[in-house]
Amino acid sequence: MQKRTIIPLGCFLLGSCLVLSGADEKRPTFFFDGQQLYVGMSKQEAVASLSHCCKISPPVESGVERQPAPENTMLGHFILSKEESPQRILGAVYFSGGKILRITRPLDEEIDTFNDGVVAFARAIKRSLPAEGDGGTTVRVSVRHERITNAESDVVSFSFPNGRGIELHIGTLDKPDTQTNKRDFATLDETLEP
């Protein structure tokens, strides 16, 4: 896998951890072109706010969220850029009971989501996760900085109760690698600990 495709994904995962670590401090909020959205916000307020910057597809008037959804799926609306052509998907919003139930957005728009290296990297993470069924599992996420003799790196660790884990190293070599002539790198390792 090419290392240059791993770096944006590594930054994406590191950013995810940092964003999630601050989630307890205040209500999580997303901004779309300066317009604020949060879970629990009224549908009417959200639609009015988004009308200043964005287009919602399908339109809210379509009532898509009232339709029965297949099991394990949620029905929602894409949030599209209003001014750009072609329109770019900025995120998605899901309503239930007249309020926002869920909001999504890309963490990094520079990642080529169809890149074979990025897809392989994401699948490697998924394969490393313990199979706990649909009930989910608890995960401990930590970030630490390391300095070794020829590089610095940030290590993002995902530790599971069964002793398995995933470590993502995102780093920079002091000197370019002799084979690739690149300094930035990312590695993904599975771990077993007591």
Report the C-alpha gap between 151 and 184 in whole angstroms: 9
pLDDT at 18 over 60: no
Q: State if pTM tops 0.85.
A: no
Same domain, residue pair 72 and 135: no
**What is the mean pLDDT of the segment spanning 66-90?**
78
What pLDDT is stored for residue 122 in this prediction? 87
State residue 23's pLDDT score. 44
CATH of the domain at 81: 3.30.1450
Q: What is the mean pLDDT of residues 60-88?
A: 77
Residues 186 and 119 in one domain: yes
Whether residue 14 is found in the same domain as residue 37: no
Pair (120, 177) in one structural domain:
yes
> So what's the pLDDT on residue 181?
95
Q: Do 7 and 52 have their domain in common?
A: no
- Predicted pLDDT of residue 112: 83
Residue where one domain finishes, among candidates 89, 104, 119: 104
Residue 120 and residue 90 share a domain: no
Asked if residue 117 and residue 182 are part of one domain, the reply reads: yes
**188 lies in the same domain as 115:** yes
> Do 75 and 130 belong to one domain?
no
pLDDT of residue 163: 86
Is residue 118 located within the same domain as residue 183? yes
Provide the number of structural domains found in the chain.
2
Range of the domain at 139: 3-23+109-192
Q: What is the pLDDT of residues 111-156, one digit of tens each?
A: 888 889 889 888 888 888 777 666 678 889 999 999 989 999 999 9
